[in-house]
Amino acid sequence: MSQGNDKTEYLFRCCICGSSDISIIDSISCIASCQTCGYVFDNPRPSPGEIDSFYSRPVQYDEWLGQLPERENTWRLRLKAVRRHSVPGSLFDVGAGVGQFIALAQCFFTSVFGSEISSTAVAIAKKNYGLDLVAGRIESIDFGGKKYDNITLFHVLEHMHEPGVSLKRCWELLNPGGMIFIAVPNELDSLRRHVRKLLHSLGLKQIRYEGVLGISKIRLDGSLSEIHLSHFTGKSLANALDKYGFDVVEQGMDPYYVSKGWQEVIDSTYFNICSFFKKITGMNVYNTLWIVGRKR
């Protein structure tokens, strides 16, 4: 599937469908696409060890901790969306971060659990919320045969090195009829992306972004706060869920904005405008994707 060294990996097959028919579509930002299923990803990319180290930096969650009241609003909106389709029982949050969502959700489920690759986040979750998150990647964690009724992955799948393997693992961890809830960035179809593409075509300088897709080349020097290895569309994400044993129940937009005051009014207004546009056209031009699946 991949080849490289301790710091870098080169992919020769698609991480979703396994096809070897892949090609570079943005040589400046090193982004490739599978010609079989449409999955778009960075190639080459940092190794899992490099990503773990990046997200375990002591300063990684400083901004988060300064925005906890604003982020709580976002988590409550997500919790409301989850409860529309969740089934009674347990909830497992993959990539739980500092544990704020689990802390809010625990009174609505019989039990809550979470995993996280960042040792910094695991320590914060324990200190702030008394949560014992499981450290590591779900593909390598031994769950001892335990199953869950609901699994959430909020802005996590785009960080995973093997999203197909991760989705398969989620299927294995769910009870029959269990639900999966996923939110990822909409980097390829959003209005923001089209604006960046226009700027590129006009030869105008773009701050922080480069390449024909308007997506930054991966850097681990601290200039980027997030590292996205995958770039999904609504179609490619739905196809991935279907391939790994899920029936798509709902597709929409994740209200991913962290703000207050007038900025919150502006952000929520933009979200509502994009939501209305999606209702009348079927097109999601917002910054995020939301998808819900039921285990087949």
Query: What is the pairing mode between strands 148-154 and 90-94?
Result: parallel
pLDDT band at 3 (very low <50, low <70, confident <90, very high): low
Average pLDDT score over residue span 245-263 = 93
Query: What is the 8-class DSSP label of residue 141?
Result: -
User: Residue 197 is part of which domain span?
Assistant: 2-295
pLDDT at 192: 80
The per-residue pLDDT of the chain, averaged, comes to 90
Q: Produce one character per residue of 33-52: b if its CB has 16 or more CB atoms within 10 Å, e if not.
A: bbeebbbbbbbbbbbbebbb
pLDDT of residue 156: 95
Give yes or no for a contact between 47 and 9, defined as CB atoms under 8 angstroms apart: yes
CATH, residue 259: 3.40.50.150
Is 90 exceeded by the pLDDT of residue 198? Answer: no
Largest CA distance in the chain: 56
**Residue 200 clears pLDDT 70, i.e. is over it:** no
Query: Residue 220's pLDDT is what?
Result: 87
Q: Tell me what percent of the residues of the chain surpass a pLDDT of 70.
A: 93
pTM comes to 0.92
Mean pLDDT in residue range 5-10 = 82
Is the pLDDT reported for residue 204 higher than 70?
A: no
Give residue-wise pLDDT tens across range 219-246: 888 788 889 999 999 999 999 999 999 9
208: left (phi over 0), alpha (psi -120 to 50) or beta: left
Average pLDDT over residues 242-264: 93
Domain count, the chain: 1
DSSP 8-state symbol, 286: S
Mark 248-260 as b/e (b = at least 16 C-beta within 10 Å).
beebbbbbbbbee
pLDDT value at 131 more than 70:
yes
The residues, any chain, with a CB within 8 Å of residue 276's CB and separated by 6 or more, are none
What are the pLDDT digits (tens) for 22-47?
999 999 899 999 999 999 999 999 99
- Distance, CA of 80 to CA of 186 (rounded, Å): 21
Q: What is the CA radius of gyration of the chain?
A: 19
The DSSP H or E segment spanning 165 is: helix 163-173
Least confident of 68-77, 108-117, 153-162, 206-215: 206-215
| Cα gap 284→273, rounded to integer Å | 11
